[in-house]
Chain A
Amino acid sequence: MGESLMIQKHKLKRIIGILLLALVVAGFFGVMALVSQVIVITGTGANPALALNVVPTVPLDLVKRVVWLPDELVASASRPLEPVVRQEITGAYLRAWAQLGVSYQMRSPYGLATYFGGPALTQVTGVVSATVDSPWRLKQSSISHALVLTFYSDDGATVAFTDRDAHLVQQFVGKNRDDTHIVETASVYDVVMVQEEGRWRIRSWRRQGPVTVAGTLPPEPQGPMPGAVAVAGDQLVLDGQVFPVRGANYYPSATPWMLFWENYDAAQTAADLAKARELGLNSVRIFVPFTDFGGETVDPRQREHLHDFLTQAGTHGLKVIVTLFDHRTDHDIATWGADDLHLKGLIPEFAWNPNILAWDLKNEADRDAAYNTVALNQAWLAHVARSVRQLDPHHLVTIGWSTPEAAVALADVVDFVSYHSYGDPAKYGAQLASLRAAVPAKPLVLSEYGRSTWDWFWPASTTEARQAEYVAAILAEQRAYQTAGELIWALFDFTNVPLGEYRFPWQKAVQAHWGMLRTDGSPKPAAPLLAAP
């Protein structure tokens, strides 16, 4: 009896020991995650300005969204506007819009008396109050304004102007956060502002003229320009010939992801693109990180790097899919203005560059739904598509979705549908068939697929031979469904996976071995398959 009791207690001790061991292991992982976060945070440095709670006299970002068109003064009764006063009026006008947005968000007139005066204050207070009972919570943000001065009084106390493009975005959120409607408007406003007690206030204003609302399709590309890829039915064409995309996603072996542009090396680019060409590829896909490129104020140095890359690609006979807004996941409407400025600072310079195959608006845009609602995500993408087309009517536009299933969204917004697939090749055909049925008339491009050759028990890894088998299987389906092409992930194995991209050793190891070319530049068995017709 005693011996039996001892055996049972021994078993219990063993069970508890296993539980404790499990807890220790979990705790170890947790500590590793915390340590890695600390390393990343301390490694990226801090912005000293964030330590200062400085209230700017002018909204730092909003003022960049205002353009003053040439004055159209009433000749008989007006005088030139001093530059200082113009700045004051700009700031007051933008703050009035911002304050109106705050009031709507708070469902109560808040601070409007600072920026509205007289009958305009009474009126806007009443209108805001009328929305209190609405079940919809409104958030509003200015994207841009284009002002034309029409009058400036002799005593400098009254000014009138027309806002030719009061471009706003509004987000209506219901009780359920996913019940969201995004409305984009562009209106013409006549405004009279009066200086009272040292402040410029809106005395009277009115929406005039045509108003456009989001929901209409973006304009079609005005192409093709010479040397640019175009769409013909469900295929891509170049100079009248079918252009099957045979490409790879590109980062240099030693400086992938966020290391790439900061350490851009023209010579390395030339050597790498030459290797891509040797494999028989005709295109590459690259990524333009929003922050690394300066955010709303595009860094001229990085723009020059991109220019060099495109030039080198052209030299090597490669077309480039440029993926925008990489690592930018916050699509709150308050950021749309900054996004537009980013596009205005980047796109126009390359609008006539024949080496661009397409603008990929966002990498794996559907994953951003983890940070935003689906409606907001899609509205942002549609807005970016419109903006890109307006800035560059010559090149194709696509969105790089993470799965074929996700790629049915916004198919009417893009020129060709692109998607990624890392799943079972045996299921890929069915996914492709489903996508083709949903989008019958547009080219389909598989813009990411692949297998890591890190041979470990980790599910995503495999051997080089299996990688080749995988590539062959995917390509077979691609040919069977006559898609417009594919781009492998990735061209090179990486010698350095940044900590900010992947934290844990097994993640890094896997991510470092997806290439078609090893770190020494030698091709893996899958490499020759890429250029096969």
Chain B
Amino acid sequence: MADLLEGGKGSKQRMRIGWPRRTAGGGSPRWRRARWWVAAALVLVLAGSAVFMGVRRFTAKPLLVPEPAVVALTIGAPAILSAGAPLTLTISAQPPVSGTTVFVTAQGTDGPIARTGKLVAGEVQVVIPPQWTQAAGAVMVQATAGTVSTQTALVIVPGAAVNPLFALTGPRSAPVGGDDGTMVVAVPVDSFGNAANDGTVVVIRAQQPGRGTTAAAQDLFLRTTSNLFAAVRVATRTIAGALTAAATSGNAHSPGQTVRVTPGTPLTVTLVADPRQAPADGETTVLLQTGRLADRFHNPLLDGAYVAFVVTGSDGTRRWLPASTLDGRASTVLRASLEPTTQVVRALVAGMASAPVTVTFTAVEMVKPFELTATHQDDAVVLTVGPVIGSLGQLVADETPVTFVITDRYGQQQILVALTHYGLASLTLYAGEKPPGIYQAEATVAGITAARSFVLPDAVDPRTDR
């Protein structure tokens, strides 16, 4: 043993055993015996815990079926309660025991509230706060003690209707005529927001446009609420404008609701063009204007109503000129074409069209006859027009378009445009661009045409210069 205590000498023995002794005496005999029991206990605890948890996991919990301390319960409550008033419930039990817990629920419009109380000599009072009783409606109260339960019903009634009376009006615009109108939906509510009881009288007044503001001129509707609301349909009459509606119930009033009564579709659409004839100079304008657009009740169309002027050219092309009404009329301008032509105009509004109106743009002698020359160069022909002289003897404005029509011997045409500069316009045709041969050229400016023929030479081969 001394060898084991000394370092070095007993090291081989210590290594064989496993670890050095911690105490000189190797522990007390009692501890040495206890270690075996501790180890065994640990194993038993581990195994037992596992078995216990497994058994507990799959063992059904016993059901709680308490014996009721009471045989019967009754609930004392008012049959009718005003909204916002405190509600006191008196629960009575038979036999009149004490200490039993009673669970009370009250189911109202906005949800339930739960309270508990303990019976004292067979009775307990439960107070439902006024904040909860603000919601009107049918209430079911249930009291439960153990497995015994009972229930009773009461009604929370709303108070008188207060301002503002909720009224929805729509649609907010309707055409005149009586076939259409607006609807007013009124929900009178009390100070807690409860809708009035069914059968509450609601008066709806509608002030039609153009009928003055006296009471005699109002449309009066009497309705009673059903399913929390009252509704009435207010038909429009013959005059367009602002319709005002409002609802009252007792001392409650709604804000005024405005509905726009709009004119109906126009009865007829007329169109005037001034002047009916103009020179085709591209500058002169023609005024297009509708007649007064009004419905069958003589209500003019509202300002801003869309009107389309449809212009159809002699070649069938169509243009749309948009406009909008002002004081019942719509107008626009039609600019003259550059070529003489006849155009047909109609006005379209609300699906109705006017009779067609014809506007003629006549030819104007803008220029005097001019010359067309063809100058041959090495591998090109230059066609020159001009000088182009106007009716005042002036050179035509720069960039006046000159239309060249080149026709080959087979009749195929090519249309080219050149612009004048100081009264002259030229067009160069290169030999390589077209087959060589005889061509006819026509040049047109403002309806005046000049023509001549020319020969387009072969292209020069740059390699051989031939």
Using a CB–CB cutoff of 8 Å, the interface residues on chain A facing chain B are 1-2, 5-6, 8-9, 11-13, 15-16, 18-19, 22, 26, 74, 76-78, 100, 104, 118-120, 122-124, 126-131, 134-136, 138, 140, 150-151, 153-158, 160, 162, 170, 172, 178, 181, 183, 185, 187, 189-192, 194, 203-211, 213, 215, 364, 366-367, 369-370, 374, 378, 402-403, 405-406, 408-409
Q: Which of A130, A209, A213, A402 contacts B132 (CB 8 A)?
A: A130
B246 CB, nearest partner CB in chain A, Å: 17
In the complex, identify which listed stretch (B165-173, B328-336, B429-437) lies at the interface while the others stay far away.
B165-173
Q: Are A190 and B228 in contact (CB under 8 A)?
A: yes
Q: Are B189 and A204 in contact (CB under 8 A)?
A: yes
Q: Which of A2, A203, A213, A366 contacts B1 (CB 8 A)?
A: A2
Query: Cα distance A136–B111 when bound, in Å?
Result: 14
- A213-B142 contact given A158-B168, A203-B187, CB 8 Å threshold: yes
Query: Cα distance A155–B32 when bound, in Å?
Result: 95
Q: List 18 A-B contacts (CB under 8 A).
A: A5-B1, A15-B36, A100-B110, A118-B166, A126-B131, A127-B111, A127-B131, A131-B111, A134-B113, A138-B111, A155-B183, A170-B105, A172-B114, A183-B112, A190-B227, A204-B187, A204-B229, A211-B153
Q: Chain A: which residue is nearest B113 at the CB level?
A: A131
Q: Please give, as numbers and ranges, the residues of chain B lying within 8 Å of A190 by CB-CB distance.
A: 227-228
Query: Cα distance A192–B195 when bound, in Å?
Result: 10
Q: Are B228 and A160 in contact (CB under 8 A)?
A: yes
B88 CB, nearest partner CB in chain A, Å: 16
Query: Cα distance A135–B116 when bound, in Å?
Result: 9
Q: Please give, as numbers and ranges, the residues of chain B lying within 8 Å of A158 by CB-CB distance.
A: 168, 170, 185, 229
Query: Cα distance A13–B172 when bound, in Å?
Result: 96
- Knowing that A123-B193, A127-B135, A203-B187 touch, tell me 9 more A-B residue pairs with CB under 8 angstroms: A2-B1, A9-B18, A26-B50, A77-B233, A123-B192, A135-B116, A138-B114, A151-B185, A406-B63
Q: Are B227 and A138 in contact (CB under 8 A)?
A: no
Q: Are B109 and A5 in contact (CB under 8 A)?
A: no
Q: Which of B13, B107, B166, B233 contacts A183 (CB 8 A)?
A: B107
Q: Which of B134, B140, B183, B231 contacts A123 (CB 8 A)?
A: B134
Q: Which of A13, A76, A140, A402 contacts B60 (CB 8 A)?
A: A402
B212 CB, nearest partner CB in chain A, Å: 26
B360 CB, nearest partner CB in chain A, Å: 51
Q: Are B185 and A153 in contact (CB under 8 A)?
A: yes
B253 CB, nearest partner CB in chain A, Å: 16
Task: Mark out the residues of chain B between 205 and 227 whose CB falls within 8 Å of any chain A CB in the assembled complex.
Answer: 226-227
Assess whether B61 is interfacial by the CB under 8 Å rule. yes
Query: Cα distance A468–B463 when bound, in Å?
Result: 121
Task: Mark out the residues of chain B between 35 and 76 whose CB falls within 8 Å of any chain A CB in the assembled complex.
Answer: 35-36, 39, 42-43, 46-47, 50, 57-58, 60-65
Query: Cα distance A135–B228 when bound, in Å?
Result: 34
Q: Chain B: which residue is nearest A378 at the CB level?
A: B63
Q: Which of A130, A206, A369 contacts B63 (CB 8 A)?
A: A369
Question: Which of B111, B142, B151, B233 counts the most A-chain CB atoms under 10 A from its CB?
Answer: B111
- A213-B193 contact given A5-B21, A135-B116, A374-B63, CB 8 Å threshold: no
- A154-B35 contact given A183-B112, A215-B149, A408-B65, CB 8 Å threshold: no
B87 CB, nearest partner CB in chain A, Å: 12
Task: Mark out the residues of chain B between 112 and 167 whose CB falls within 8 Å of any chain A CB in the assembled complex.
Answer: 112-116, 129, 131-132, 134-140, 142, 144, 149, 151, 153, 166
Question: Which of B46, B131, B138, B228 counts the most A-chain CB atoms under 10 A from its CB?
Answer: B228
Q: Are A127 and B134 in contact (CB under 8 A)?
A: yes
B294 CB, nearest partner CB in chain A, Å: 27
Q: Chain B: which residue is nearest A76 at the CB level?
A: B233
Q: Are B60 and A134 in contact (CB under 8 A)?
A: no
Query: Cα distance A15–B50 when bound, in Å?
Result: 20
Q: Please give, as numbers and ranges, the residues of chain B lying within 8 Å of A155 by CB-CB distance.
A: 170-172, 182-183
Q: Chain A: which residue is nearest B144 at the CB level?
A: A181
Question: Which of B63, B144, B183 counts the most A-chain CB atoms under 10 A from its CB?
Answer: B63
Number of interface residues of B (CB under 8 A): 73
A27 CB, nearest partner CB in chain B, Å: 11
Q: Which of B4, B60, B171, B193 contacts A406 (CB 8 A)?
A: B60
Q: Please give, as numbers and ranges, the residues of chain B lying within 8 Å of A160 by CB-CB distance.
A: 227-229
Query: Cα distance A441–B187 when bound, in Å?
Result: 56
Q: Chain B: which residue is nearest A140 at the CB level?
A: B111
Q: Please give, as numbers and ranges, the residues of chain B lying within 8 Å of A15 by CB-CB distance.
A: 35-36, 39
Q: Please give, as numbers and ranges, the residues of chain A lying within 8 Å of B193 by CB-CB distance.
A: 118-120, 122-123, 204
Q: Are A127 and B108 in contact (CB under 8 A)?
A: yes
A421 CB, nearest partner CB in chain B, Å: 13
Q: Chain B: which residue is nearest A194 at the CB level?
A: B168
Q: Chain A: which residue is nearest B181 at the CB level?
A: A154
- A154-B228 contact given A131-B113, A364-B60, CB 8 Å threshold: no
Query: Cα distance A18–B166 when bound, in Å?
Result: 84
Q: Please give, as numbers and ranges, the residues of chain A lying within 8 Å of B18 by CB-CB distance.
A: 9, 13
Q: Chain B: which residue is nearest A402 at the CB level?
A: B60
Q: Please give, as numbers and ranges, the residues of chain B lying within 8 Å of A118 by CB-CB distance.
A: 166, 193
Q: Please give, as numbers and ranges, the residues of chain A lying within 8 Å of B170 by CB-CB distance.
A: 153-158
Q: Which of B111, B116, B153 contacts A100 (CB 8 A)?
A: B111
Task: Mark out the residues of chain B between 72 and 123 whose CB falls within 8 Å of any chain A CB in the assembled complex.
Answer: 103, 105, 107-116
Q: Please give, as numbers and ranges, the residues of chain A lying within 8 Å of B233 by CB-CB distance.
A: 76-77, 154
Query: Cα distance A213–B132 when bound, in Å?
Result: 20
Query: Cα distance A157–B257 when bound, in Å?
Result: 15
Assess whether B194 is interfacial by the CB under 8 Å rule. yes
4 smallest CB-CB distances across A and B, nearest first, come from: A119-B193, A155-B170, A127-B110, A207-B137
A152 CB, nearest partner CB in chain B, Å: 10
Q: Are B166 and A153 in contact (CB under 8 A)?
A: no
Q: Please give, as numbers and ranges, the residues of chain B lying within 8 Å of A157 by CB-CB distance.
A: 168, 170
Q: Please give, as numbers and ranges, the residues of chain A lying within 8 Å of B153 by CB-CB distance.
A: 210-211
Assess whether B392 is interfacial by the CB under 8 Å rule. no
- A22-B63 contact given A154-B233, A160-B228, CB 8 Å threshold: no
Q: Are A204 and B134 in contact (CB under 8 A)?
A: no
Q: Are B26 and A77 in contact (CB under 8 A)?
A: no
